[in-house]
Amino acid sequence: MTFDSLIAFNLVLLAALASPGAALLYAIKTCVASGRAAGFATGIGLGFAAALWTLAALLGLEGLFRLFPWTYTVLKFGGALYLIWLAIQTWRHAKSPVGDASRPHGRAFLSGMLINAGNPKSMLFAAAVIVVVFPQGLAATEIAIIVANHFVLEVCFYGIVALLLSSAPARRGYLGAKPILDRIAATLLGALGLRLLTERN
């Protein structure tokens, strides 16, 4: 593993993080609705699950999915059902007022972790990038560096999101448009869940 390959991995990862998806959408919603601390805890959960998928990719879990396709199917359907449940709850409470109390950090962390843990495509994405960027036969220390790097990068990214979007103006703007934004979020989360349920591979 070279420093250049790690930089290449980080650039691809940053591009993926910045693209609209369930993880970024949920992080933004948590930041503006529940505050900076909850948003940061959610980001730690998202980063933790994503780093675990990278570890799984480095250890060859993709090969396990190829040998036993049902394991991928179970993970995919479980993640899809969680996203659909989350979409339904978000839609149902779109008009509900948001209290001043922040979401408990443990719950925010768990919710973030479940968002990324419930999507095995995160691992498949990591596996595809790893195959292109890193050589085969990585040492245990190199694997540890890659996984730790992934985790730190995700936490930094979502930390910046929490810092920018948990301000008073951002919160006021969110509260004013909450019914519309929550229903947009619910639609996107539900669409992702349905896509995971209906796609063949």
Query: pLDDT tens-digit profile of 126-183?
Result: 777 776 778 777 888 999 999 999 999 999 999 998 988 877 787 777 777 778 877 8
Which residue type occupies 96?
S
Cα dihedral across residues 16, 21, 23, 26: positive or negative: positive
**61 or 144: whose pLDDT is higher?**
144
The Cα–Cα gap between 101 and 127 comes to 39
> Whole-number mean pLDDT of the chain?
81
- Average pLDDT of the residues in 80-97: 79
Which residue type occupies 14?
L
- Average pLDDT of the residues in 185-190: 79
Whether pLDDT at 78 is above 80: no
Whether pLDDT at 29 is above 70: yes
Percent of the chain whose pLDDT exceeds 90: 17
Which residue type occupies 165?
L
Q: CA of 179: how far to CAs of 91, 96, 97, 121, in Å?
A: 8, 8, 10, 30
